[in-house]
Amino acid sequence: MDLTEFLIKTATIFVVFVLTLVIAMYSTWGERKVAGFIQDRMGPNRAGWGGLLQPLADAGKMFFKEDFIPALANKWLFIAGPSLAMLTALLASAVIPFGSTFKINNHEVVLQGVESNIGILYVFGVVALGVYGIMVGGWASNNKFSLLGAIRAASQNISYEVAMGLSLIAILMMSSSLSLGEIVSQQHGGNWNIFYQPLGFIIFITCSFAECNRVPFDLPECETELVGGYHTEYGSMKLGFYLFAEYINMFISSAIISVLYFGGYNYPGMDWVYSQLTQALGGITGHNIATLIGTGVFFGKAIFFIFFYMWVRWTIPRFRYDQLMNLGWKKLIPLAIFNIIITGAAVLFLKPMITAWLN
Amino acid sequence: MQLTNRSKQVSNKEMTFMERAYLPAIATGLAITIKHFFTKKVTIEYPEVKRYLGPVFRGRHILKRDADGKERCTACGLCAVACPAEAISMVAAERETGEENLYREEKYAAVYEVNMLRCIFCGLCEEACPKQAVYLRHDEFIPVFTERDQVIWGKDLLVEDMSNRYTREAWTKEEALALDMKRASGEVTNVVPRAIP
């Protein structure tokens, strides 16, 4: 790896990092705006145009609040909790393919932090680590409510990770690759996985709601039972980090959903646009602009799913704990296994039949 | 006793498959919320947009002048006596020769002060006044005060400005209602609701 390549990679990672943070930041604004609109209110509209400076004001407020650590808390772990949550949330964005390639002087740069052949496995590993942030924070607080909230979060994440992984296996059986870039390029030309895996998609999106601790699965921070859940004792920017990590997770899972099921940066009529642009603007510029359009489409999809998260949040009430566990273990896991069997049968029998019939 | 037709009999019947599947219900819910997302918001954005509060709203005080621009107040003190919050204080003075165009009667209020922190805007001063001098405007609030000296309002703020006189079409709730009815029928159109600064 020579120096230019290293610099380009660094720049890509930095851009991905900043983009993730900015999108997460504006999701907080979006959440309040969507909440307001759904409840027939205006939402924040005082700070800046349409309240666009609200995230900055919130962050400023968070920073200037007293950074309090309870006397009997484990100080080191108390600080490590939100840091871990933030770290694991940010790590996952590294392998997401934001677009196809970018051409700079014969260098072809992939718009992806790390081109990894085990991309989706990496995401799963990092997301599974996310529970440490919550667990460590909840335990270090030395507070029963925090601990209960953390335990709930841990058990919920573990339960739903099983169904999530199983629903993903169906995708992997079709793509026979763990690389996210590969999975996206296989969906080129309208072959979006959602058309082949509707059941898998429903299971996956339900599980990602649970993984992000979003309504209707936000039991870890259930105010009516647990005061504030795992972040009861937190204040100032440490609380801010926990909340922020949730929004980053939301963006990551939205991006993963659009990569896995909605073709990532692919969109209908992509090849036509590409040929028109390369003809009109030449090989390099046309290619780059086509890539940018694809990236825009990708972010559009991701933002739609963030919106969907918020939309669901202001529609559905929270599950009870036993309902949550019943849904996870007794409904989603059998359904996911059923989905695997169906997919296996389709890949083995239906696909050769259809290809034979088409030829 | 049946009060509405909307009451539903509670039943323990088994849920149908569609109900148990939960997803159709979620879709219905999502449809409802997205409908609200796109409805026009009822919010009135207060400091920029102000709503007409009606002709009987009790806002800030005003000391009226008569048609010739003479102050009506004779400093009789009935408003101060009527005031339950003891917000009004005044100093009376005798009119000198040459001041006939300023004050309507021989006695006038040299100082007339309303403590806006004490005032509860009940309107009893208005009712007590025998000279129809003090009124609570229906179209202006007391602005938010930030300094101590903004709290006590003297005659400089209270006395009516002749180039911008204060008028009110309706004086009682009944009159306001009648006016509203007339306005609704299109009989009266001259009433322009003023903005509240």
Is residue B167 packed enough to be buried (19+ CB in 10 Å), middle (13-18) or exposed (0-12)? exposed
Q: Is residue B1 part of a domain?
A: no
How far is it, in rounded angstroms, from Cα B162 to Cα B116? 23
What are the tens digits of pLDDT across the range A50-66? Answer: 888 888 888 888 889 88
Question: How many angstroms separate the CA of residue A42 from the nearest CA in chain B?
Answer: 7
How far is it, in rounded angstroms, from Cα B71 to Cα B172? 24
Does the pLDDT value for residue A47 go beyond 80? yes
As a whole number of Å, the end-to-end CA separation of chain A is: 44
Task: Give me chain B's average pLDDT, please.
Answer: 83
What are the tens digits of pLDDT across the range A73-87? Answer: 888 888 888 888 888
CA within 13 Å, CB half, A23: 26
> Which pLDDT value is given to residue B193?
46
Distances in Å between the Cα of B101 and the Cα atoms of A189, B6, B66, B92, B93 are 90, 69, 11, 18, 15
Tell me how many domains chain A contains. Answer: 1
Could you give the 3-state DSSP secondary structure of residue A18? helix
How far is it, in rounded angstroms, from Cα B168 to Cα B154? 23
Please, what is the Cα angle at A147 between A309 and A234, to 5 degrees? 70
Task: Give me chain A's average pLDDT, please.
Answer: 84
Question: Is B125 annotated as ligand-binding?
Answer: yes
Which residue, among B26, B32, B37, would best test binding to A if mutated, counting the most A CBs under 10 Å from its CB? B37
What are the tens digits of pLDDT across the range B83-94? Answer: 999 999 999 999
> Which pLDDT value is given to residue B188?
60
Q: Is residue B123 part of a domain?
A: yes
CB-based contact, A338 to chain B, within 8 Å? no
Does the pLDDT value for residue A222 go beyond 80? no
**Is B32 in Cβ contact with A315 (below 8 Å)?**
yes
Q: Is residue B119 part of a domain?
A: yes
A217's tokens = 């699965």
Q: Which residues of B touch A38 (CB under 8 A)?
A: 33-34, 36-37
Question: How many angstroms separate the CA of residue A106 from the nearest CA in chain B?
Answer: 47
**Is B33 in Cβ contact with A314 (below 8 Å)?**
yes
What are the tens digits of pLDDT across the range A193-219? Answer: 888 888 889 999 998 888 888 878 877
Q: Is residue B125 part of a domain?
A: yes
Distances in Å between the Cα of A244 and the Cα atoms of A104, A227, A251, A304, B133 are 34, 19, 11, 19, 60
Average pLDDT over residues A222-229: 74
Tell me how many domains chain B contains. Answer: 1
**Is A202 in Cβ contact with B23 (below 8 Å)?**
yes
Judge contact between A161 and A212, C-beta under 8 A: no
pTM, rounded to two decimals: 0.79
What CATH number is attached to the domain comprising B120? 3.30.70.3270
Phi-psi region of A43 (alpha: psi -120 to 50; beta: other; left: phi over 0): left
> Which pLDDT value is given to residue A238?
87
> Which pLDDT value is given to residue A62?
87
* ipTM of the complex, rounded to two decimals: 0.77
What b/e readout covers B61-73, taking b as 16+ CB neighbours within 10 angstroms?
bbbbbeeeebbbb
How far is it, in rounded angstroms, from Cα B197 to Cα B194? 9
Judge contact between A97 and A291, C-beta under 8 A: no
Judge contact between A262 and A302, C-beta under 8 A: no
pLDDT tier for residue A278 given thresholds of 50, 70 and 90: confident
Spatial neighbors of B48 by CB under 8 A, at least 6 apart, are: none
Does the pLDDT value for residue B190 go beyond 80? no
Closest residue of chain B to A313, computed from CA coordinates: B30
Q: Which residues of B touch A316 (CB under 8 A)?
A: 26, 29
Closest partner residue to A40 among B32, B39, B45, by Cβ? B39
Judge contact between A264 and A296, C-beta under 8 A: no
> Which pLDDT value is given to residue B197?
39
A225's tokens = 């039972």
Range of the domain at A231: 63-358
Judge contact between B75 and B90, C-beta under 8 A: yes
Most confident segment among A91-95, B30-34, B138-142: B30-34
Question: Is B79 annotated as ligand-binding?
Answer: yes
Q: Is residue B18 part of a domain?
A: no
Most confident segment among A25-29, A192-196, A221-225, A277-281: A25-29
Q: Which amino acid, one-letter code, is at B184?
A: A
Average pLDDT over residues A328-346: 89
How far is it, in rounded angstroms, from Cα A316 to Cα A314? 6
What are the tens digits of pLDDT across the range B160-175? Answer: 888 888 877 777 777 7
What are the tens digits of pLDDT across the range B106-149? Answer: 999 999 999 999 999 998 998 898 888 998 988 788 888 888 88
Question: Is B34 annotated as ligand-binding?
Answer: no
Nearest to B119 by CA among B142, B94, B96: B142
Range of the domain at B160: 61-185
Question: Is B197 annotated as ligand-binding?
Answer: no
Most confident segment among A90-99, A263-272, B22-31, B85-94: B85-94
**Is B39 in Cβ contact with A315 (below 8 Å)?**
no
How far is it, in rounded angstroms, from Cα A213 to Cα B3? 42
pLDDT tier for residue A235 given thresholds of 50, 70 and 90: confident
Q: Which amino acid, one-letter code, is at B139?
A: D
**Which contacts (CB < 8 Å, 24+ apart) does range A49-58 have?**
A54/A28, A54/A29, A55/A25, A55/A26, A55/A28, A55/A29, A58/A28, A58/A240
Q: Is residue B99 part of a domain?
A: yes
> Which pLDDT value is given to residue B89?
92
Average pLDDT over residues A112-141: 84
Q: Is residue B17 part of a domain?
A: no
Closest partner residue to A316 among B29, B38, B45, by Cβ? B29
Nearest to B59 by CA among B107, B17, B116: B116
Does the pLDDT value for residue B191 go beyond 70? no
What are the tens digits of pLDDT across the range B40-86? Answer: 888 888 877 777 777 778 888 999 888 888 899 999 999 999 999 99
> Which pLDDT value is given to residue A90?
85
Which residue, among B39, B40, B41, would best test binding to A if mutated, counting the most A CBs under 10 Å from its CB? B41
**What are φ and ψ of residue B93, in 5° steps?**
-145, 160
**Is B29 in Cβ contact with A38 (below 8 Å)?**
no
CA within 13 Å, CB half, A92: 27
Does the pLDDT value for residue A301 go beyond 50? yes
B49's tokens = 């947009």
- With tokens 């086509």, the residue in question is A290
